[in-house]
């Protein structure tokens, strides 16, 4: 039996794409993260859904996500939210939060925008850049 302690079901507040970073809204529903400085990211959606549908979300641990830019894992392992639920290299000094760490592999050493990537979702880090 699979370990599902790191997965939780939510109701979608709006359309969510597969492997998008999501945050909880004031109604307790999830929506795609659109603000890199938000502390509300709760996990990575595991499938595409329409508003009102249930979606399983990885709230901690290993999952796939979507790259929002080229990522060089050998120089940048921490990732942050982009403005469309994708993950991009963490940028210090701009009030952003890291939310995940990339897990590179030999077959996909330099992911580009829109590529699926394997990450460890950690949630918004206590390390907030200045």
pLDDT for 101-116, tens place per residue?
Answer: 999 888 778 899 999 9
Domain boundaries, the chain: 7-59, 63-121
pTM over 0.95: no
Give the strand pairing for 98-102 and 78-81: antiparallel
- Residue 115 Cα to chain centre, angstroms: 13
pLDDT for 37-84, tens place per residue?
Answer: 888 999 999 999 999 999 999 999 999 999 999 999 988 899 999 999
Please give the CATH topology (third level) of the domain spanning 63-121. Beta-clip (2.40.340)
């Amino acid at each position: 039996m699979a370990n599902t302690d790191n997965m939780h079901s939510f109701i979608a507040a709006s359309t969510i794409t597969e492997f998008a970073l999501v945050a909880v809204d004031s109604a307790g529903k999830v929506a795609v993260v659109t603000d890199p400085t938000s502390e509300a990211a709760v996990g990575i959606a595991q499938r595409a859904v329409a508003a009102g549908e249930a979606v399983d979300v990885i709230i901690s641990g290993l999952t796939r996500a979507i790259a929002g830019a080229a990522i060089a894992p050998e120089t940048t392992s921490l990732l942050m939210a982009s403005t469309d639920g994708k993950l991009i290299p963490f940028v210090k000094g701009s009030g952003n939060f890291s939310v995940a760490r990339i897990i590179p592999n030999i077959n996909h050493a330099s992911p580009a925008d829109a590529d699926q990537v394997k990450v460890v979702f950690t949630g918004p880090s206590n390390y907030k850049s200045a």
